[in-house]
Structure 1
Amino acid sequence: MTTMTETSARFREFKMPDVGEGLTEAEILKWFVQPGDTVTDGQVVCEVETAKAAVELPIPFDGVVHELRFPEGTTVDVGQVIIAIDVAPGSGDAPAPAQEPVEEPEAEAEPKGRTPVLVGYGVAESSTKRRPRKGTTAAPEAAAVAAAVQAELNGHAAPAASPAATAPAPAPVADAPAGGRPLAKPPVRKLAKDLGIDLATVVPTGRDGVITREDVHAAAAPAATTPVAAPAPSQAAPEAPAAAVASDSARETRIPVKGVRKAIAQAMVGSAFTAPHVTEFVTVDVTRTMKLVAELKEDKDMAGVRVNPLLIIAKALLVAIKRNPEVNAAWDEANQEIVQKHYVNLGIAAATPRGLIVPNIKDAHDKTLPQLAAALGELVTTARDGKTSPAAMAGGTVTITNVGVFGVDTGTPILNPGESAILAVGATKLQPWVHKGKVKPRQVTTLALSFDHRLVDGELGSKVLADVAAILEQPKRLITWA
């Protein structure tokens, strides 16, 4: 869809675009420009978060920022104008915006000739809120959340919240880079937003002036640890009621449900109460698989890629699906059809700072072991950096979730919506095991396979799980069964 409009020969407007997968709204996480800043075609002006991922938006023309239509933290519908650009500064009678990057003159007039952006929208006064001046005290509620989050990171309960206790202490202002935008990766920007920290006030310690997560935590520390000021003697309240208020305020923290977390909640509820889940379990000796992993790490054909047990588990599941193709399907409720998939887009559940996401490896069934290893490594790195695109999370058919990395034996995973099965992998532990008629210490893990019982009956689900277990017990079956 078109994402920009012309309101006059001088001013052009940029709309919130459809960033993919038919999403209807996005939250503005961070503005990288302010009124008065010069922008060029292709320059990133803001970061937005959809229900699936965080995305940086570039402006498609040159000019000077005239107006930001929405403040940070606002959820905007696709198609709404978010920024106005003066593409011919100095050529008209309309006053130019103030050069102060965070504050505009109150009497600034709307440019002449502005027309409604979309039917039913137009230009509303409520959508032109000014950003607060940098360094001003944040609202008590925001400061309380920042304190609670920081306390959680430090491993203890959040302190009692009060306006005096939670007002952030002034922080030294770092020298801004040439473009005026602090240098930080998207996950760091998200962390700063969650903690209520303005990146412009953070002193960078990273290479080339890049702000790190540690810098943000250091900037947030004063806000979380500022002691409560004692009341004056003439205004002192009885000690018991004051203690009760402090105790109550420290007992709970409210965090808005939005973005990725909101999408996860909706998807899991929809999946749990739509698809009839069945979960089966098997415990298997994976000693030979662990030996194979060690050998592959030394193989020259696997040089440059990450080799771990998840790689062999993924390959085992792909072989099991090849032997039991009916498991790779989807339920079409509208048409009352079972849709058989002749390809496997293998989803890998990944925990990220924004919540659980499930990107998938496209056409994983066609990949060799080195190719699969490379794809897994790229998927994990991209997810950790917060750069997973909506397209990377669409179209999955079967998923693996590795709960073993948290020391958990196994679980009953909920299906990713639209998929037929999900395999949970538990922790691998040294346990006594009967091997060749004798009890010996062996590497053992537990697998759990959840599947949609509308698509997969007990026999088919059992065959898939048994095949995965058999391959992990005897990895040579990767060759004989492939």
Structure 2
Amino acid sequence: MTAGTAGAANAQRIREFKMPDVGEGLTEAEILKWYVRPGDIVTDGQVVCEVETAKAAVELPIPYDGVVHTLNFDEGTTVDVGTVIISVDTDPGAGPVQEQPAEAAAPAADAEEEAEPQGRQAVLVGYGAAPSSTKRRARKPQPEPVTAGLQAELNGRAAPAPPATPVAVPAPPVVPAASAPVGERPLAKPPVRKLAKDLGIDLATIAPTGPGGVITRDDVYAAAAPAEASAVPPAEAEAGVPAVAPVTAFDAARERRVPIKGVRKATAQAMVASAFTAPHVTEFITVDVTRTMKLVQELKQDPDLAGLRINPLLLVAKAFLVAIRRHPEVNAAWDEANQEIVYKDYINLGIAAATPRGLIVPNIKDAGVKTLPQLATELAELVATAREGKTTPAAMTGGTVTITNVGVFGVDTGTPILNPGESAILAFGAIKLQPWVHKGKIKPRQVTTLALSFDHRLIDGELGSKLLADVAAVLERPKRLITWA
């Protein structure tokens, strides 16, 4: 079988599955777990792996029937969207897959050999080879050292007689083979360059040990250690003062580094973008929620709500929704591109959830029209799904406002940062028994503090204050859930 025939046959049998964009405009995903191995039989729609995007962990189904031919990446690898991650032999009964003869790849290899006669050079982001050519410019020949005889000849006079006694000429310094050639920039990643700069180390003096002549963090630490050890004053060394091992903040042995990726990376980027785009204003109010806590206990005993999780967060969410319905101008978004304010007639209520992979904010769609039992059901499902790491990207898009329950950690309150694209976020603090003036007397009451952060482009101080005051009023007297609804 010719190379062309084998390639065509393989193209018909071997189907390649590429990393899809499972969110909205995502560019990469990390392979968390493979559920199949080469040789396993798979069917159309079968889940073959779990990946983590910048928004959530997602299971990917294969769209083919057949036998797994290859897995192109190991678990823990971050793969760009559109890259082939798995291939499936859709006709395993046709015999072994015909491998393409090696001769077919020879011309390409020869062409590459001509393009890069000196071999490939390791390329780092921001420090790669110039795109205009793959050839490395020939180095300028080093000038021969000018001898005394040659200099005299150039000056037109006779050279002086050599000295009677031979003079020892010092040998040129030995440059490590792996060091960067003179005039070339040492290869190192940006974080390593910054580390060297912080430690005052010249990268050109470091012998690289990384692949392709790349300087690593360990190389920089190794170069810094002798410098610190030699910092002992000569007078003390001569006096016999014992040397003390240098103690530095850059002690790599006591540091643990974790790559910034997935949900954590997306959250960090979103929070930075939000904090420096939307002008935040945060207001606080402390409220007596004793009546609300009594209502929670009564609802837990209600047969019509049996099996539902009734807790203070549920009633805070309901109070927030009632307050927004009284002030609908709050529920809006800022459209910078079109220079418009978008007022929304629906409320998608986000609930900030802490997960092992980082903070996510799934939202309950159309929460403003949900009954209390419906809200309780969806809130419980939202939290359970988030803890399992199964929240879909769709569940985290389209939010309009958010609640973050910092009280579960014993925290009184905070200044929450807006979820990008949303207008307000309410922080619900811990409920504590505190002395409170009630009906003219100081009594122990259940008290909490609420904090509302809002986008000051959309919500001015008066509107934000009214919204927060209404949330507190409902929690102080929960019968307003009926009268204001």
**Same fold by TM-score, threshold 0.5 exceeded?**
yes
Q: Does 1:407 align with 2:427?
A: no
- Within the alignment, does 1:89 sit opposite 2:96 as a pair? no
Secondary structure in 1 aligned to 2:12?
A: coil
Q: Distance in 1 between matches of 2:366 and 2:469?
A: 23
Encode CA deviations 1:20-47: one digit per residue, 9 max, x unaligned: 3232221111122222222222222111
> Hey, what does 1:452 align to over in structure 2?
455
| Structure 1 residue 67 displacement after superposition | 1.2
Supply the distance in 1 between the matched residues of 2:250 and 2:61 (Cα, whole angstroms). 47
Task: Report the Cα offset of residue 16 of structure 1.
Answer: 1.2
Show CA shifts across 1:111-152 (max 9, x none): x99xxxxxxxxxxxxxxxxxxxxxxxxxxxxxxxxxxxxxxx
Question: Separation in 2 of the partners of 1:474 and 1:245?
Answer: 58
- 2:289 aligned partner: 286
Determine the structure 2 residue equivalent to 1:440: 443
2:325 corresponds to: 322
Query: Counterparts of 1:256-295 in structure 2 under 5 Å?
Result: 256-295=259-298
Q: Which amino acid is the alignment partner of residue 341 of structure 1?
A: K
| Secondary structure of the corresponding residue to residue 251 of structure 2 | helix
CA–CA distance in structure 2, aligned partners of residues 242 and 257 of structure 1: 33
Tell whether the 8 Å contact from 1:284 to 1:473 is kept in structure 2 after alignment: yes
Task: Name the aligned partner's letter for residue 299 of structure 1.
Answer: D
Contact 2:412 2:429 in 1 (8 A): yes
Q: Kindly report the root-mean-square deviation, in angstroms, between the aligned alpha carbons of the 2 structures.
A: 2.5
| 2:471 aligned partner, one-letter code | V
What SS class does the counterpart of residue 259 from structure 2 fall into?
A: coil
- Aligned match of 2:12: 9
Q: Which amino acid aligns with 2:52?
A: E
SS of aligned partner of 1:434: strand
2-side partners of 1:25 and 1:64: how far apart?
26
**Mapping of residues 51-450 of structure 1, within 5 Å:** 51-92=54-95, 94=97, 248-450=251-453
Aligned pair 1:478/2:481, yes or no? Answer: yes
Q: Measure, in 1, the Cα distance between the counterparts of 2:9 and 2:453.
A: 52
Instruction: Assess, with a 3 A threshold, how the Cα gap between structure 1 residues 246 and 32 changes in structure 2: closer, same or farther.
Output: farther
Secondary structure of 1:423 counterpart: strand
**What is the identity, as a one-letter code, of the residue corresponding to 2:411?**
V
Structure 2: 5+ residue runs without aligned partners? 1-7, 106-242
CA distance in 1, matches of 2:62, 2:362: 27
Alignment-mate amino acid for residue 429 of structure 2: G
Is 1:469 the counterpart of 2:472? The answer is yes
Q: State the shift of 1:11 in Å.
A: 1.1
Q: Secondary structure at the match of 2:49?
A: strand
CA positional deviation for 1:77: 2.0
Q: Deviations over 1:130-183 (max 9, x none)?
A: xxxxxxxxxxxxxxxxxxxxxxxxxxxxxxxxxxxxxxxxxxxxxxxxxxxxxx
Q: Per-residue displacement from partner, 1:421-456 (whole Å, max 9, x unpaired)? A: 000010000000000000000000000000000000
The 2-side partners of 1:245 and 1:451 are apart by 43
| Whole-Å separation in 2 of the counterparts to 1:460 and 1:374 | 31
Structure 1 residue 63: Cα displacement: 1.3
Counterpart-to-counterpart distance in 2, 1:241 and 1:367? 69
Which structure 1 residue ranges, 5 or more long, are not aligned? 97-107, 114-239
d(CA) in 2 for partners of 1:473 and 1:479?
Answer: 14
Structure 1 contact 63–88 (Cα < 8 Å) conserved: yes
Q: Deviations over 1:304-340 (max 9, x none)?
A: 1100000110000000000000000000000011100
Q: Is the 8 A contact 2:40 2:67 kept in 1?
A: yes
Identity %: 79
Structure 1 residues 77-86 or 465-474, which shifts more?
77-86
Contact kept, 8 Å, 2:23 with 2:55, in 1: the verdict is no
Calculate the TM-score normalised by the size of structure 2: 0.67
Structure 1 position 253, deviation (Å): 1.2
Whether contact under 8 Å (1:430, 1:443) holds in the other structure is yes
Task: Identify if the C-alpha distance between structure 1 residues 246 and 362 changes in structure 2 by more than 3 Å, giving closer, same or farther.
Answer: closer
| Equivalent in the alignment of 2:33 | 30
Equivalenced residues, count: 341
Structure 1 letter corresponding to 2:85: I
Output the CA distance in 2 between the equivalents of 1:252 and 1:411.
30
Asked whether the equivalents of residues 421 and 452 of structure 1 are also in contact (C-alpha less than 8 Å), the reply is yes
TM-score, with structure 1 as normaliser: 0.67
AA in 2 matched with 1:358: V
Structure 2 distance, partners of 1:281, 1:342, is 27
Paired residue for 1:139?
none
Question: 1:241 deviation in Å?
Answer: 8.5
Retained in 2: the 8 A contact 1:94–1:109?
no
When Rg is computed on C-alpha atoms for both structures, the one with the higher figure is 2
CA distance in structure 2 between the aligned counterparts of 1:6 and 1:466, rounded to whole angstroms: 71
Separation of aligned partners in 1, 2:447 and 2:19: 51
Paired with 1:253 and 1:9, the residues of 2 have a C-alpha distance of: 47
Cα deviation for residue 19 of structure 1 reads 1.1
Query: Aligned partners of 2:438 and 2:97: how far apart in 1?
Result: 84
- 1:61 is displaced (CA, Å) by 1.5
- SS state at 1:9 partner: helix
Give me the whole-angstrom Cα distance separating, in 2, the residues matched to 1:250 and 1:476. Answer: 60
